[in-house]
Amino acid sequence: MILICILAAAISALALTERSVEHLPFAVAALLVNAALLLLFLGDLERAILLSGMLAVAIASLSSVKFNHSALKLTVPDLPLAFAGTVPFFVLQYPRMMLGVLAGTALFACACSAVVLYAAGPPIPVALRISVFLLALFGLVKASASEGVRSLPQTLSQGRCFYATFIASLVDPVCWRQFGGLALSDIASEPLPLREATPARSAVFPDIIVIQHESVFDPRIFGLPIEPVVEAFLSPSSGEFGCLNVDIFGGGSWQSEFSLLTGLSSASFGSSAYYLFQKGAGRFHSSLPRSLASLGYKTTLISSCRRAFLSYDKFYGSIGIEERIFADELPPPFDLRRFEATNSDAVFLDAVVNAYAKRVAHDAAPRFLYALTNFNHGPHDRQLVPSGQFEKERAFAMAGFPDAGYAEYYARLAETASTWQRLRARLASSFPERPVLIVHYGDHQPVLTKRIDRQLKRPSDGRRPFRTFYAIEALNIPDFSPGRSADLDIAFLGTVALQRAGIALDPIFATRASLLDDCREAYFASASERKRRFHRTLVDLGLIDLVPSAQIQR
């Protein structure tokens, strides 16, 4: 009777965490395999099932925590991230959450010790233990063959099947092969013929300025109101704008940077996505800055981070950005110590425009400038906008959604919007004849949007956490057509910028542009066979260097 009660309790707890009748048999099969494995060492079913149930609940709980802070569930390829700076980042950014995880881990360890020491049941012969394990393993193999289990990787952004998703990744050989090196998960066996190059629309090439706005999203995604200044920034009446789909939530800005500059989804690289700036340096030979440099553009990066941050300098140099300037190298009047107290866009973007103005004042060569801000990064429980500034905007945000964190987010966004309004006017007046295309976009949503979504009780949408914004503005470009445009995946944003600038597209970018109709607003999530074949072409041409044994085909 005790054994039946323990088994029923374990399955009930699993059912509560999974919330999926379709995937529950697989989760139960995994639970029983773990119990059978523990039985080999412990010798009794009571402790084996109890510990297996506790382990399942612990995995589901950790996956739920990750989901709440990244909008993606826990999988086996995530485990190395604990050794890549993720844990220290979470400790710094979300100390309360990490304290809860630490307390839960300690409680789990104590409970497991108590079960091992005091909950032993009748011993079972070794031969029977082995038979039980083989039977449970057979059951897991049978359960793994179902169509529902094969579809689990597509549920990563859904708040259910936490345990089943982790186990599915554990038994998936693709996940393990991705540890071996750089690998593409969406690649066909046959290449796609490249399109012919697209000629330029004009002999005059405009400057292209791309600004990545840290953790900026459009509040209207959640039905929240915005003021005219913020609206003019997110959807300028004289510009092109729309919704941008990205691969990440809450952090990992470099993955958005990677996608914009290479025209590839970081998600295509599985467990390597987080490491692309380290693993990918020197491996990507077709990029937005390389294409522009071949047309005579001078390429510059200005980052709000210090030069030592991750492998930024090495990676950006490897994809063709000639000049790389970091926050600890910006000249006066920029004050690094003052800037790093708040990471204010009013300070940083002013320095960016100063650097741009200095470089183009006596140089007619077209220029590509990529600027990376850091102002609106979470957490939003500390006030970076000084008291007395943007109080009206803070009150407006509180009236729309009474949450102090959102009010801080909106106040920072309002500062960015008003700063840009001033700087755009300065660019227009300082260079009245120089054509300039300006692209703004948000790299990912901040973690606080999870709270917004829960409190507003919006209809379920697994893709909502991965939506930000993009806006394209033009100065002195006569054939530019403003207005609401199609939603985009960030992997296409660089290609669209080239199209709007009217400059020539090489065969690679011309072919990528032809995939827009196939993939629409998605890239990695698209089932397009032409996209997979395009990836094969890039690999076959040596434009992406992969470890041969790690090239994954499906």
Question: What is the amino acid identity at position 62?
Answer: L
Helices (H), 457-489: none
Cα Rg for the chain, rounded, in angstroms? 26
Question: What is the amino acid identity at position 432?
Answer: P
Report the first-to-last Cα separation within the chain, whole angstroms: 47
Rounded to whole angstroms, the Cα distance separating 303 from 479 reads 31
Placement of tokens 């012919």 in the chain? 196
187: left (phi over 0), alpha (psi -120 to 50) or beta: beta
pLDDT in tens, the chain (554 residues): 677 887 788 788 878 888 877 788 888 888 899 999 998 998 888 899 989 989 989 998 988 887 776 667 888 767 765 655 556 656 656 677 778 888 888 998 998 999 889 888 889 898 998 998 999 888 888 888 777 676 677 677 677 888 888 888 787 766 655 555 688 889 999 999 999 999 999 888 999 999 999 999 999 999 999 999 999 999 999 999 999 999 998 888 999 999 999 999 998 987 678 888 988 999 999 999 999 999 999 999 999 999 988 889 999 999 999 999 999 999 999 999 999 999 999 999 999 999 999 999 989 999 999 999 999 998 898 899 988 999 999 999 999 999 999 999 999 999 999 999 999 999 999 999 999 999 999 999 998 998 999 899 888 787 899 999 999 999 999 888 898 999 999 999 999 999 999 999 999 999 999 999 999 899 998 989 999 999 999 999 999 998 644 444 44
Among candidate residues 311, 352, 346, the one with its CA nearest the CA of residue 329? 352
DSSP state of 331: P
- For the domain covering 207-550, report its CATH number: 3.40.720.10
Q: Is-contact 81 17, C-beta < 8 A?
A: no
What are the boundaries of each domain within the chain?
Answer: 2-171, 207-550
Cα 221-223-228 angle, rounded to 5 deg: 85
